[in-house]
Structures are given as structure tokens and as C-alpha cells.
Amino acid sequence: MSGELVLVTGGSGFIGVHCIVQLLEAGYRVRTSLRSLARADEVRAMVAEGGADAAGVEFAELDLLHDDGWLDAATGATYLLHVASPFPATQPQDPDELIVPARDGTVRAVRAARDARVRRVVLTSSFAAVGYGAPHPGRPYAEDDWTDPADERLTPYVRSKAVAERAAWDFIDREAPDLELAVVNPVAVFGPTLGRDLSSSLHLLRTFLNGEVRGIPDAATNAVDVRDVAALHLAAMTHPDAAGERFLAVAGDPMPFTEVAAMLRERLGDAARHVPTRAVPSWVVRIAARFDPDVRAVLPQLGRRPYASHAKAERMLGWHPRSNEEAILASAESLLRLGLVRG
């Protein structure tokens, strides 16, 4: 049992709370940040739902856009997991609504870690910072690939993740050469939700289960289980060779939405009776997206099958993720358990 203190930003989020659970189970002390301390009891309840004892969790109130409290929150921590980042269900009209808090919050976290003499920061980035550059016929995306954040054709969310991660590496190079940084780049994160505040991936899955979409678009999802993402954060936090490295968190090949829908109907039976069964042409999806923000979120994925590899995380950190199917089914089962799917 290490007893070392870890600061986890964004402790109320899908990934953040699973990181807290696994840190507590591994014997670490945890301090976590929230935008409002009014959510502390909610986080304690989610941690308990995950099977850990939340009694000793400390809380700090931090804002990605303000300096107040960051140094105090990082003081005494050996490690900092910067998980907090804006991730809306719909894309804003002004890209800076996402880009500025993602970038500035990341710099605040890394600066606080430097000033508090934290040993290592693990940044939760995204496949969005990797897989939207030049296409890669014949090979999967890997950690040396980068999305171009200046490409204005990309969604604000995709650009925000590339900008924020670049800002972290640049800060380390310029102003914190002695601070260790490792980055985790997950694809769409599924797995069991511990609360009712849903990530965008789970929100999309719920629209399928509730029959809120009339058909299945020509799109696919890469998937990874949130429990495996949290485990990769912990491995990147402590492994001697992880400093200065990026790690893609992806379970397997892209899974077409037609296969996701078929799996849900087969494995969940009557609980998946509202899941659509017919494919919808992309031109229909584009028209529907003009009126429905949930459909609009699918547009960047139409026709894409982005292959990515977790070979580096497996080779360097011994990371072995659950399958796409297990991750997505765990999400669906937790949505049903929490009563978030209509009968």
C-alpha cells in the first residue's frame, strides 16, 4: 500500500471516477477536483457504487479557466491525473468555447504540478488528437500520428484535444523539463457508468436503446472499456518507461453501428427492442443533422473506419483491454440498471 497522494482533476466524470476507484483500491490517497463542491456527495456515491471506500477522498474546487486553488490542490501530491476537460453532447458554434478551457486548463494543471514538485502528470488526451490527420491506408494509427489542430474542417472537440495535448508537451519542453508527462489517448469510452451524468459515448448508446434514432448510419465506433482506460492511467503513472510517452487506449478494430445494434438485440433481448434495425443512407443522415444535434454528432464519423493499435501500451505496460463487445454491453447493462433506458 503506497499511501502516496494523487490529485485527480474531473473526479465527477466518467473516466475520473473510475480512476479514483482504482487508485483507492491500490492503496493511494486521493484528492479530486470539482467545479463545485456541491457535487462531493455525488462523487462519494459513485465511488461506493464502484466498490471502493470514499471516506478518505479529499475535494478541491477548481475551474479550468481560473488560477485559484490549483497550486494548493497539487501541493503534497506525488502524481497528478489531469482528466478534466470539456466534452459536450453537442458541438458549440464557437470553437473557442471548447478549445480555450481545454488548452488553458491543461496548462494550469501542468504548471501547478511543476510548482508543487509533483513527480509525474498523466494527461487524459484522446484519439481525437491522433486520428484526424492524413489517412493511413495499410496501417493503423499509432502514437506518432497527430491531428492538425489548425484544420478548421474538424469539430471543435477534435481540435480542442489536439490543441490541449500540444500545449502540455510544449509547456514541459519550455518551462518544466524536470516534470514527467505521460499521455493516454482513448478512443470512444464505454463500460459501466457509476452515475447518471452520461458521457457522450453513453449518451449515443442510450439513443440507440431508447429508439430515438430511426435507423443506423454508415459509421463505426472504436471502443475501449473505462475500467481499462483507468488501469492504463495507473500504469502510465508509475511505470518507469512511461514518462515522455503517449499511449493509445483502444480495444480492437472499429465496430460498425450495424454490428453494435445487432449485438445489443441479440444479447439484451427484450431490453433492446427499441434498437433500430435498418441502415440509413448517409444523405438522409446529413439532412436529419440539420435539425437534430444528436444526429449532427455522428456526421464526422460517416464512412470512417479508423483503425488504431494498442500494441505500444501492451508491449511497454503489459496492458490488455477487454473486447469492444464487453465494453459496450457493460455500458448498456449499467444504463438499464440505473433506469436510464425506457421500458
CA distance 229 to 245: 16
| The predicted structure's pLDDT at residue 92 | 62
CA-closest candidate to residue 144, choices 249, 246, 241: 246
CB-CB neighbours of 17 under 10 Å:
29
| The predicted structure's pLDDT at residue 87 | 62
| The predicted structure's pLDDT at residue 167 | 97
Residue 267 lies in a domain: no
CB-CB neighbours of 5 under 10 Å:
19
Residue 292 lies in a domain: no
Between 155 and 328, the higher pLDDT residue? 328
> What is the mean predicted confidence (pLDDT) over 159-181?
97
Residue 262 lies in a domain: no
**pLDDT over 90 (residue 330):** yes
| Mean of the per-residue pLDDT values of the chain | 92
> What is the mean predicted confidence (pLDDT) over 317-329?
97
CA distance 97 to 79: 29
**pLDDT over 90 (residue 180):** yes
Q: How far is CA 274 from the centre of its chain?
A: 27
Segment among 84-88, 121-125, 162-166 with least mean pLDDT:
84-88
CA-closest candidate to residue 142, choices 309, 307, 319: 309
Q: Which residues lie closer than 8 Å to 234 by C-beta, 6 or more apart?
A: 19, 22, 23, 26
> What is the mean predicted confidence (pLDDT) over 189-204?
92
* Structural domain span for residue 26: 5-192+223-253+307-323
Residue 258 lies in a domain: no
Write the CA distances from 288 to 157, 169, 212, integer angstroms.
21, 39, 12
SS3 category, 45: helix
* Catalytic residue ranges: 161
| The predicted structure's pLDDT at residue 121 | 98
Confidence of residue 2 (pLDDT cuts 50, 70, 90): low
SS3 category, 29: strand
Residue 14 lies in a domain: yes
| The predicted structure's pLDDT at residue 150 | 84
| The predicted structure's pLDDT at residue 322 | 98
> What is the mean predicted confidence (pLDDT) over 131-155?
83
CA distance 284 to 40: 43
Q: Is the CB of residue 74 less than 8 Å from the CB of residue 118?
A: yes
Segment among 22-26, 104-108, 161-165, 294-298 with least mean pLDDT:
294-298
> What is the mean predicted confidence (pLDDT) over 130-140?
77
> What is the mean predicted confidence (pLDDT) over 180-199?
95
Residue 285 lies in a domain: no
| The predicted structure's pLDDT at residue 91 | 64
Give me the CATH number covering residue 88.
3.40.50.720
Segment among 7-11, 102-106, 269-273, 286-290 with least mean pLDDT:
286-290
Residue 328 lies in a domain: no
Q: What b/e sequence results for 63-101 when a residue is b if at least 16 CB atoms lie within 10 Å of its CB, and e otherwise?
A: bbeeeeebeebbeebbbbbbbbbbbeeebeeebeebbbb
Residues above pLDDT 70, as percent of the chain: 95
46-52 contacts, C-beta under 8 A, 24 or more apart? 46/12, 46/17, 46/194, 46/195, 47/17, 47/20, 47/21, 47/194, 49/194, 49/195, 50/17, 50/18, 50/20, 50/21, 50/194, 51/21, 51/25, 52/20, 52/21, 52/24, 52/25
> What's the domain count of the chain?
1
For cell 458554434, name the residue.
Answer: 93
**pLDDT over 60 (residue 89):** no
| The predicted structure's pLDDT at residue 1 | 47
Confidence of residue 195 (pLDDT cuts 50, 70, 90): very high
Between 153 and 337, the higher pLDDT residue? 337
- Residue 105 backbone phi and psi in degrees, to 5: -65, -40
CA-closest candidate to residue 54, choices 164, 225, 195: 195
| The predicted structure's pLDDT at residue 324 | 97
Residue 273 lies in a domain: no
